[in-house]
Amino acid sequence: MTQTIFLINGPNLNLLGLRQPEMYGRETLADVAQNVRVKATALGFALEAMQSNHEGALVDMIHQARQSAAGIIINPGAYSHTSIAILDALMSYEGPVLEVHISNIHKRETFRHYSYVSTRAEGVIAGFGTQGYELALDRMAVLLGAAAR
């Protein structure tokens, strides 16, 4: 049966490509989902891309992943730095979790240097622009045993 990967984006990432291109690039969130989906299909996975600006809705998506997703690629946005609720939800999820940040959070304000989610994630990508999502998918394929490395 085809395994599904959840691509979850948090608050304000619906504005991708529409504002602050110097920080977050010119690709829209729809472009990102399309690129990752093409790659996922080539690797034999289904992709479900979702985004919310609401912490509880993100928690619900992670709960949904417990039944439906073989792995989670998540950019929790600003909630990375604040949300124990999202961390707890991810703790209840058994599959691999990869965290993506478009910008290099370690080169920015100190309040962005700590991510609760990183304490749960198998791996973290930061500062690779929107390409980071595709790199995370490559890694997810390895973690799920669909690609050798």
**Which positions lie near ligand CA2, rule CB under 6 A?**
12-13, 15-16, 19-20, 24, 75, 77-78, 80, 101-103, 105, 112
CB of 110 to ligand CA2, least distance (A): 11
Which residues touch 35 (CB under 8 Å, ≥6 apart)? 27, 130, 133, 134
Active site residue 54: no
Nearer to ligand CA2, 13 or 136 (CB): 13
Q: Which residue from 118, 21, 32 is spatially nearest to 79, judged by alpha carbons?
A: 118
CB of 140 to ligand CA2, least distance (A): 17
CB of 67 to ligand CA2, least distance (A): 26
Per the residue annotation, which of 24, 79, 116, 133 is the catalytic one?
24
Per the residue annotation, which of 79, 81, 93, 101 is the catalytic one?
101
Active site residue 101: yes
Nearer to ligand CA2, 62 or 105 (CB): 105
The residues that are catalytic are: 24, 101
